[in-house]
Structure 1
Amino acid sequence: MTTTAGPSTPVSAVLAATGETPGPRAVTGGPGLPQRRQLVTELPGPRSRELLARREAAVARGVSITFPVFVVAAGGGILVDVDGNALIDLGSGIAVTTVGNSAPAVVDNVIRQVQAFTHTCFMITPYEGYVAVCEQLARLTPGDHEKRSALFNSGAEAVENAVKIARIHTGRQAVVVFDHAYHGRTNLTMALTAKNHPYKNGFGPFAPEIYRVPLSYPYRDGLSGAEAAARAIRVIESQIGAHNVAAVLIEPIQGEGGFVVPAEGFLPALAAWSKAAGAVFVADEVQTGFARTGAMFGCEHEGVVPDLIATAKGIAGGLPLSAVTGRAEIMDSAHPGGLGGTYGGNPLACAAALGAIETIERDGLVERARAIGARVLPRLRAVAARVPALGDVRGRGAMLAVEIVDPATGRPDGAAAGAVARRCHAEGVVVLTCGTDGNVLRLLPPLAIGDELLDDGLAVLVTALESLAG
């Protein structure tokens, strides 16, 4: 059955095309949305194709689309498109909708806030929500030292401001980053990012004093964490000089770079070196933060306490918000007026963040992330045992990945990874690729997803992966 729902068609009418009865919050995409995959048209359907044509006439070519279906409702682990198809979401908008697309606490907080006021600019006339978010960040982030926070809009802004703070605190300029890193698309964060295409190609010149060193990549280098850290430190000391380093910036688990989990001991060794060298150790937890990895923050798995931590994505249940949180003496190095922005810590986003944090803690989503990993990883490893193209299965919690390689050579096979993703999309399961060579399939299911729906999505993925066996 197909539907001709238009842009202004009520969500309830679109859902009716699936034969489902909306739950109590289905009209807002809330938890009442039926939690099962159902395809009523080809993908993309006719209305999505119409909107795609409009998009191509109005949106800049540089803004790409992974899966050209247009969503009208979402909740739990389901996305409903304009044609009435119900898709399984294993991407969470790139790790943003950790608590679901419209968790009640997030929605209710935002409604109350939007009815009160939408904006004043915290730097002009402040409001409690900003302060409350900073208080929660001080409570939640690793370490019991005195902390301060500053709020921004995007992960790239948070990372860029962390670099600013580290430089003014140390009086140094050099920033150490790692192979395969991704930190954003602003000029400075493009310089911090490793991958050229599509993120950097043609957009230079880039900011100076950025130095790249080898990462711990167990599948590729076979080194222990201690060995990989010693290698990285040798490069820093010989090619940069410890006395020049303002910051060592690293993702506890790489995101766009391929969901690379460093070998045990790598992160603690770098944090210890940074402390001894007087450099600021910065954890980019934009993708790993807020319960995603089975800890509130990824660096907690090895007890690492960063000097500064950059967060975004899962912090606010889908609204744009980011933060830099860190040691009070470092954060307070910036002079008044040196940090901020017109929209940073917008009151709606702060209200959403407080709702998201409440949901994570009330619903036990840290434990839920661990349960998802325990459910998914064994099945993926079983496939890898019989399909040689699956070079590596890795991840923590609900941040999981499969690296696809040429079985004969072990080289990255981005074409095969893309084919698997497209096969999943055709069956109504949203998965993402990543990696420097585009050969890694990444899974980022919302932590609100139920086991039955997760199993259905995983079954589709397993079938697609098994097709690589020939």
Structure 2
Amino acid sequence: MIEEEVRTPAAVRDAQRWTAHNYHPLPVVVSSAEGAWVTDVDGRRYLDCLAGYSALNFGHRHPKLVEAAHAQLDRLTLTSRAFSHDRFADFCRELSQLCGKELVLPMNTGAEAVETGIKVARKWGYRVKGVAAEQANIVVAEGNFHGRTTTIVSFSTDEDARADFGPYTPGFRCVAYGDLDALTAAIDENTVAVLLEPIQGEQGVIVPPAGYLPGVRRICTERNVLLLADEIQSGLGRTGTTFACEHEDVVPDMYLLGKALGGGIVPVSAVAADAGVLGVLQPGQHGSTFGGNPLAAAVATEVVRLLATGEFQRRSAELGARLHAKLQALVGRGLLAVRGRGLWAGLDIDPALMSGREASERLMTRGVLAKDTHGSTIRLAPPLVITEEELDHAVAQLAAILAE
């Protein structure tokens, strides 16, 4: 056992030596995983309560997704969009139907989906709405997290993500999240879209006030502005519905999807909208060599089919109710507040006890993996395959560190 115990520190040091320090990971070096559990290089098992920021909604190595990947690896992995392939049409059709939209545009990462949405909204504004050239603006929310490209960080209010990456891309107006009056005031004749997360994940799982999303939908309709819903973290079963917008019966003009769409196996993202919106794109105006590749399409099609059963949405809703009830019982006992929906929670820890980083490290020593954000807040987002017993175990470990 002595030999095994030194493997993690050495692996951590080696990674730090050869990698740009753009992340501050917990000192865990995972070597294998299954379901809701991961195992490190020393053989220690951890309950994964982060699930790759929702990229692993279906758990690690879900059998149907692994089977789909293996089968496709033996046949065809890449063609580029210079040709079509035999998995492409099924993927696009089934994802369009899941979203209730006429068209999808496959990409790779969540940031690419957001960039695609921005470009499509601007082009729609010029070609359909009639906005004067170079005058389009998009309204966004404070506390947003949509990715880390230069355009996206241009409208971030997180200085860690934004500082020293200018000059910044113009064309965005940032207003307080949850404030309908501020949003209304920011819209003018050149506004082409409102881009929002239905629940702000990176900010600490911030759920907007009741009526906010329906209000945004009404304003966008009245002012002939597209509503772009970034469901990259909140979508595909995470909150107990296929999309978080469904909790208030809101249908956006465009879904921005990613993370869980790749089943935790390959990066897959997509934009879904009707032909009147996505149809503004013509050949040569936008694309990606790997977007919608055969391997990605094979895995993502199986993801869509898993979601079409409704099983994972039900699990998230039922287990989420259990999770939030148990977490609420800890408010006043080390927790200041709990937010979220389904199997997604933001927990504000009393800063007098510990920081979010310290809480994550203490949970790690107890075999539970979570991640901090913004001071004393941590996020829980376990895979949707987690069991009641595993969920109860995670909350018990949280209660234990709060009582230490």
Which category of TM-score, normalised to the shorter sequence, fits these structures?
over 0.9
Give the C-alpha shift of residue 158 in structure 1: 0.1
- 1:81 is matched with which residue? 40
Letter in 2 for 1:274: C
Distance (Å, rounded) in 1 between the aligned partners of 2:157 and 2:54: 20
Give the 3-state SS of the residue equivalent to 1:116 in structure 2.
coil
Structural mapping, 1:364-379, within 5 Å = 364-379=311-326
Indicate if the aligned counterparts of 1:294 and 1:398 stay in contact, CA closer than 8 A: yes
Give the C-alpha shift of residue 344 in structure 1: 1.1
Distance (Å, rounded) in 2 between the aligned partners of 1:465 and 1:394: 18
Indicate if the aligned counterparts of 1:183 and 1:192 stay in contact, CA closer than 8 A: no
- 1:296 is matched with which residue? 242
Distance (Å, rounded) in 2 between the aligned partners of 1:329 and 1:425: 49
Q: CA separation of 1:98/1:2 partners in 2, compared to 1, >3 Å: closer, same or farther?
A: farther
Indicate if the aligned counterparts of 1:170 and 1:278 stay in contact, CA closer than 8 A: no
1:210 and 2:172 equivalent?
A: yes
Match of 2:271 among 324, 345, 348: 324
Give the C-alpha shift of residue 439 in structure 1: 3.0
Indicate if the aligned counterparts of 1:158 and 1:324 stay in contact, CA closer than 8 A: yes
Bigger drift between 130-139 and 111-120 goes to 130-139
Give the C-alpha shift of residue 404 in structure 1: 3.1
Structural mapping, 1:53-132, within 5 Å = 53-62=13-22, 64-121=23-80, 123-132=81-90
- 2:184 is matched with which residue? 233
Indicate if the aligned counterparts of 2:351 and 2:376 stay in contact, CA closer than 8 A: no
- 1:194 is matched with which residue? 157
Aligned alpha-carbon RMSD (Å): 1.7
Give the 3-state SS of the residue equivalent to 1:378 in structure 2.
helix
Give the C-alpha shift of residue 374 in structure 1: 1.1
Distance (Å, rounded) in 1 between the aligned partners of 2:176 and 2:184: 9
- 1:421 is matched with which residue? 360
Distance (Å, rounded) in 2 between the aligned partners of 1:72 and 1:304: 41
Indicate if the aligned counterparts of 1:383 and 1:466 stay in contact, CA closer than 8 A: no
Structural mapping, 1:348-367, within 5 Å = 348-362=295-309, 364-367=311-314
1:136 and 2:83 equivalent?
A: no
Bigger drift between 81-90 and 448-457 goes to 448-457
TM-score (norm 1): 0.81
Distance (Å, rounded) in 1 between the aligned partners of 2:90 and 2:329: 45
Bigger drift between 362-371 and 251-260 goes to 362-371
- 1:400 is matched with which residue? 345
Unmatched runs of 5 consecutive residues or more in structure 1: 5-44, 217-227, 408-412
Indicate if the aligned counterparts of 2:359 and 2:401 stay in contact, CA closer than 8 A: yes
Distance (Å, rounded) in 1 between the aligned partners of 2:286 and 2:47: 40
1:179 and 2:142 equivalent?
A: yes
Distance (Å, rounded) in 1 between the aligned partners of 2:203 and 2:10: 34
1:307 and 2:253 equivalent?
A: yes
- 2:121 is matched with which residue? 166
Indicate if the aligned counterparts of 1:105 and 1:358 stay in contact, CA closer than 8 A: no
Q: CA separation of 1:160/1:87 partners in 2, compared to 1, >3 Å: closer, same or farther?
A: same
Letter in 2 for 1:75: E
- 1:337 is matched with which residue? 284
Percent of pairs with identical residues: 32
Distance (Å, rounded) in 2 between the aligned partners of 1:186 and 1:372: 35
Distance (Å, rounded) in 1 between the aligned partners of 2:88 and 2:94: 10
- 1:431 is matched with which residue? 370
Distance (Å, rounded) in 1 between the aligned partners of 2:33 and 2:269: 23
Give the 3-state SS of the residue equivalent to 2:358 in structure 1.
helix
CA deviations 1:163-190 (Å, max 9, x no partner) are 1000000124201110100000111111
Letter in 1 for 2:75: A
Give the C-alpha shift of residue 348 in structure 1: 1.1
Distance (Å, rounded) in 2 between the aligned partners of 1:245 and 1:105: 43
Give the C-alpha shift of residue 405 in structure 1: 4.8
Match of 2:381 among 430, 435, 444: 444
- 2:207 is matched with which residue? 261
Give the C-alpha shift of residue 358 in structure 1: 2.7
Q: CA separation of 1:294/1:3 partners in 2, compared to 1, >3 Å: closer, same or farther?
A: farther
Letter in 1 for 2:347: V
Q: CA separation of 1:466/1:136 partners in 2, compared to 1, >3 Å: closer, same or farther?
A: farther
CA deviations 1:35-55 (Å, max 9, x no partner) are xxxxxxxxxx42122211221
Distance (Å, rounded) in 2 between the aligned partners of 1:346 and 1:48: 35
Distance (Å, rounded) in 1 between the aligned partners of 2:43 and 2:207: 38
Give the C-alpha shift of residue 391 in structure 1: 2.6
Aligned length, in residue pairs = 395
Structural mapping, 1:18-29, within 5 Å = none
1:155 and 2:95 equivalent?
A: no
- 2:11 is matched with which residue? 51
TM-score (norm 2): 0.93
Q: CA separation of 1:466/1:129 partners in 2, compared to 1, >3 Å: closer, same or farther?
A: farther
Q: CA separation of 1:404/1:127 partners in 2, compared to 1, >3 Å: closer, same or farther?
A: same
Distance (Å, rounded) in 2 between the aligned partners of 1:330 and 1:390: 44
Indicate if the aligned counterparts of 1:175 and 1:245 stay in contact, CA closer than 8 A: yes
